[in-house]
Structure 1
Amino acid sequence: MTMRMPAPWADHEGCLMAWPTRPEMWGSVFAQARAEYAAVARAISAFEPVTMIAAPGQGGAARQACGDDVDVLELPIDDSWLRDSGPVFVLGPDGRRAGVDFRFNGWGGKFPPFDADDRISGVLLERLGVTAIHSPMVLEGGAITVDGEGTLITTEQCLLHPTRNPLLTRAQMEAELCAKLGVTTVIWLPYGRIEDTITDGHVDGVCMFVAPGTVLVRMPSDPDHPDHDRMRANRAHLEAAVDARGRKLQILELPQSAFVEVDGHRTEVGYLNFYVANGGVVVPIAGCPSDEDALAVIAAAMPDHKVVGVPATTIAYGGGGVHCVTQQVPEEKA
């Protein structure tokens, strides 16, 4: 039976996260990073159960920060971006759940060591009692967005980067995505964010499915924004595409952008990098006037969900957002 990755708005059993582990990489904002991760976990736990993976010996700190509503599980990890290192869950037509264990190489070898993070997907699936489907392909969860009906969107900037799968052609990568995630249509956008040098342009920084046939697209309104023209090129590709059901895509725009200073670095907080929970959407915010307008756009795009903003400037400084630090576990229907 063909397994298929469900849409992010499908029913969840819960959410997985990982506790920040590398003080040398976060520097002076390490404590703030942990505080923001805890705030994200608490916000999501209002909608669905959250399990925080902490490195051995760090469980106590995670429990104290996250509170009693968040479960903590100690397992070896290298880093705290579980969207990228964790399993990608799929469901069979009978509702049976499995997890795809893609390879993880530290975003192209940028942040060694990453051995424990390469193993964590398989370790988690074993602990959860979920069947593992192994793939030899390097893939981070932030590099894809799906509609649950057979359509996947990714970026050439990331998947075709020479540090990911240099021995695979684009056609071979597409075939592996179709085989493991049950998609039949792959839409390739040319660009991720130009300043996204860590993930090499993950799609969760530029667009996200918010309903079947509907895509929310980051579209900076400022002509001087570094991605102004690139995101319009992405939109042109989406306008020309059809999904797995043969539909033209409805395209919604998220024009807001927020830049803040974190530890002396100019940092962009990506509103699009949100997590869809059971009945809720948890959105990174920057403490800027543009926050409310961005939250209103997302609320209009997902009217059946309660939209909650969580300060995430330090998470953005680390290279991501709320979507990057979370991984949904779909509810098994069998």
Structure 2
Amino acid sequence: MPWRLLIVPTHRQQEVMMQPDDLNTTVVVPPEWAILKAVWTAWPANADEWNGDLESPRRDVAELVRALAETNTVRLLVNGAEAEASARAVLGGTADIIQARYGDIWLRDTGPIFSRSDLGPIALRFATNSWGGKYDLPDDATVGDDVARIAEAPVRRFDFVLEGGAVDHDGEGTILTTRQTLLNPNRNGWSKEQAEAALAQAFNARKVIWIDEGLHNDHTDGHVDNIARFVGPGRVVCQAPAGDDDPNRETLDAIAASLEAATDACGRKLEVTRVPGVGLYRNALGEISPASHMNFIIANGLVIVPVYGTSTQEAALEALRGVFPDHKVIGVSSKGLLGCGTAGGGSFHCITQQEPR
């Protein structure tokens, strides 16, 4: 595709909002295996958020964009002249390059959640409180509005805090989530009943499947997209421990047990496939990191899986090829995105947001 630069205003000018008569229309968040119009992501631009090292995360993002661009339109946000120039130099005409302001690249959580309705696409927008007040960055609260405006999607707003990585959808009214995130006092202070009512309001959710907690040292307080994912109607994947030293061994077994005991909104007992996990993975500072093969992206014709050079990665890729026989399953290194200290902490699903066709 030819390279082009799109400039988006960072103020609220010409924002498309839903009219009052439209607010009661029912929305559905399509499953991630639906046909996509575009995949949105962002270019690392703030060196302070990456321990002064932008090269490592940029290398991972570039490989992700190249892989996606084989069969998908990729819309890459860049923040500032240096970010634009570096992205253009590395990626050329591989993606649409779009100037926008953002705090960091975690568009899964700060971008809109695209849904469908009888009126067409709707961008669902939620409040953000910087992952429970831990990572307060300028423009994270507004970048989702810019994405919705560029996509020409009407916006429906909700006043409660919700990150996109905290919920996983099957497209039929079932949501996966964790108590550790949604019931955390540092978000909304919800009870289980209040959380389920909010998810029903926002997503027309008919069933919520609760998992207790996420991975050890997860910056997000246990986002579900790092531990369990829908891969088809009534089908989920989660990880199996990689060895006796796996710091998440008990957690991963508990996740699988919760899923195996669950039914979805249609009353189906879930079919659960366990994929070999990453196991004990330490970053450059020697910290145990929340590395996960579950942070994959399902796109048009592709599934892109984060890998870390561990002994289990080929077995994990083979297991996911069995889960996605109609997709090309690709492993791409995500060590730079995982980072260390307060930098990074996520992977490919965390930095993308899909826009269904």
Please say whether Structure 1 and Structure 2 have the same fold, judged by a TM-score greater than 0.5. yes
**Which residue does the alignment assign to 1:154?**
177
The question of 1:187 aligning with 2:212 is answered no
C-alpha distance after superposition, 1:36-79 (max 9, x if no partner): 11111111111200011111322121222223121111111111
2:244 counterpart of 1:210:
no
Percent identity (aligned):
35
The equivalent of 1:228 in structure 2 is 249
2:49 alignment counterpart:
25
Q: 2:114 maps to which residue? A: 89
State the SS of the aligned residue for 1:269. coil
Counterpart of 1:79 in structure 2 is: 104
Asked if 1:322 corresponds to 2:329, the answer is no
Choose from 93, 96, 99 the match for 2:123.
Answer: 99
Report the CA distance shift for 1:231/1:70 in structure 2 as closer, same or farther (over 3 A).
same
Indicate if the aligned counterparts of 1:7 and 1:147 stay in contact, CA closer than 8 A: yes
Please give the TM-score of this superposition, normalised by the length of structure 1.
0.93
User: CA shift at 1:247, angstroms?
Assistant: 0.4
Residue aligned with 1:101, SS: strand
For the residues of structure 2 that align with 1:128 and 1:268, how far apart are their CA atoms? 32
Query: Which structure is higher in helix share?
Result: 1
Q: Which amino acid counterpart does residue 243 of structure 1 have in structure 2?
A: D
Unmatched 5+ residue regions in structure 2?
1-24
Name 2:286's counterpart in structure 1. 265
Structure-2 residue corresponding to 1:305: 327
**Structure 1 contact 63–71 (Cα < 8 Å) conserved:** no
- Which secondary structure state, in structure 1, belongs to the residue aligned with residue 354 of structure 2? strand
Contact 1:298–1:307 (Cα < 8 Å) also in 2: yes
Q: Check conservation: 2:32, 2:354, Cα contact below 8 A.
A: yes
Distance 1:28 1:187, change over 3 A: same
Displacement of 1:264: 3.2
CA contact (8 A) 2:334 2:348 kept: yes
Question: Which position in structure 2 is the counterpart of 1:295?
Answer: 317
Amino acid at match of 1:200: D
Q: How far does the alpha carbon of each residue in 1:160-181 deviate from its partner, in whole angstroms, 9 at most, with x for none?
A: 1111112x33322211211211
Number of corresponding residues: 327
Q: Aligned Cα RMSD in Å? A: 1.6
Asked whether the equivalents of residues 247 and 280 of structure 2 are also in contact (C-alpha less than 8 Å), the reply is: no
Partner of 1:117, secondary structure, is coil
Deviations 1:54-109 (A, max 9, x none): 113221212222231211111111111111110001111x4711110011221111
Query: Which letter does structure 2 place at the counterpart of 1:231?
Result: L
Say if 2:87 is the partner of 1:62.
yes
Contact 2:278/2:310, CA 8 A, preserved across alignment:
no
